Structure 1
C-alpha cells in the first residue's frame, strides 16, 4: 500500500467567533474499488481522500460517535444505517475518516470530529485516546491496519498487532474477527468486507465561496492588501467580488482561499490576517505555509466550519471590525 498522509488536525472549539458559514455545498461521490483507490493514491501528490467505510452485509457505515459530557468529550465506535452508500450526507461527520500513513505499508484512520483513531485492542474495536492525525505515535501499533483487497471492489482492514480483521455484523455491532493472517481472508467472510466511499471535503476545490461570521453578522473580504470584515448582514449583494474566494486544493488535506479581484491569497501572518503577494489561482507555491488552512467542521449540517493554520497553530477569528487569530 502506498504512503497516504493527510495533514489534518482537530482542536476543541470554545467560541463561535472562530466559526464561519460557507455559502457553498458539496456531496459525496461514487464508490471506488480498492485498485482504483491505490492508483489514485500513487498518482496524487495530495494523498488519499477522506473516506467512509460502508458494510454491504449490514448496510451501515462505520462511525465514531462523539458526545460531550461536561467539559470532556467521549468517543466510541458505532455504526450508522444507510441503505445507499452514495447518499452520505454532507453533515455526517462521525462517518468520515482521514487516511493517515502509518509507515511500513500500514494505514491509520482518523476522525476529525472526535480527534481520535480507530483502534483494535484484542477483540474490541474502539476509539484511541485523543490525538491529532498528523501526530500518530510511532509506538501505536493497535491503530495501524493493512488494507486487504477483498474482491468485487471491497476492502478489509487487518490489524497486524492483533492478527485480526475489523468485523461488522448484520446489526451493526463492531468487533474483531477470529485470528487470521492478512493474506488469508476466507472467501465466505462477509462481515469483514467494506466499500471505501470517498467523502468529498467540506469545501470543494474550484468552488467560489464567501465566509460569513454568524456571531458578528459580517463577511470577510480582501480589499487590496487588507483583509477585513464587511458589515452587510447575511445576504451578499450581487456583483460584489471582494468577499468572494476560490477554494484551491493546497495539498495534504488543506485548502487555500484566492480572491480573483486582487489576484492574491488569504494568509495568516502571526496574529493578523492579510493578503499574499500577487499569485494566480492555480499557482500556490509549495513552500507557502501561511496561505494553507485545514477545514474543521463545527456544525457541518449547517455549513459552519473553522479554519486552522498549521504553521501558526491558530484559528481564524473575526472581531467586529477586523479579522484576527
Structure 2
C-alpha cells in the first residue's frame, strides 16, 4: 500500500512531523512525499491514498488503484474534475477541526465592528483620548456603538460553523435566524432556519449577515448587486467560509455607497487579495488573510481526523467525514 502526500501539504512543519510519526507507526506501508506537481502526477498513478488538495493535472493522472482522497481542510471547491467526481474514489475532509476557531473569529469581528475597536486602536497609536467623540454619539450615527443584544444575526448556511457561531451569539442575547439548503428544526437559541428561498427575508432583518456556506456552483454569487437594496442601514457582512458567495464587486459597491455599514472579510474570491483593492483602505472593513481557523488545536484535530480515518481504512471500516462530491461539500 502506498500513501501519497501532496506537494501543497508536505512543506508544512506540522505535517512533516505527522508524516514521520505515521512512517514509524506503519513500517510496512510506503509513504511518499511529493516534491512538486510533476512528481505528484507520476506518483499518484501507483497510490492507494492521497492526502492533500490535488490539482486538475494530478487528478487527470489518477488510476483505478486510488481508493481515497483526504483533504486536510473543510472546503473541497478546489476539486472540480468531473471524472473524479463521478468515480468511486472516497473523498473526506476535516469539517469539525475548523469550526470553533472560525466561530470565535466571527464574534471577534462582530464585537470589533460593534464597538469600533479598530478605530480606537488608531486613536491609541496617535495618543488621542477620544472619549467625547463617543460620548456625543446619538442613538444611531456613524460614531455610535452597537448593543449586540438589540441586533439580529443572520447566518447563511446552518452547518457546523453556523452552529458554533450560534452557541457564541446566544451569549450576547442576539436574535438569530438562518437559511440553509436543507432547512431543519432550529437548535436552541435560533428563531428560524428557512430554506434558501427566504434569503431575501434574512437579508432584510439582519444587522449582521454571516456567510458560512460552502462555495459550490449553486452558491457562487448567491448574494449579488440585486440584493443591495435589501440591506438595513445598520447592516454588516461577515465573510468567513469562502469568497465569491457574496459577489465581491457587489459587496464593494454596497460598502462604498453605504448600503452596507461595514464588513469583516476573511475569505476572498481571489487570494491573496490584490494590493490595489479598495477594500484595504476602507475604514469600515476588517480584513484577515484567510486565517480564521488557524490555531494549534485546529492543526492537531485535523491530523487526528486523518489518523482515525486511516486506521478505519486499513481495517475496512466506513470512513468519517465523507464528502458528497456532486454537492461540493
TM bin (shorter chain): under 0.3
TM-score (norm 2): 0.26
The structure with higher relative contact order (CA 8 Å, sep 6+) is: 1
TM-score (norm 1): 0.26
The structure that is helix-richer by fraction is 2
The structure that is strand-richer by fraction is 1
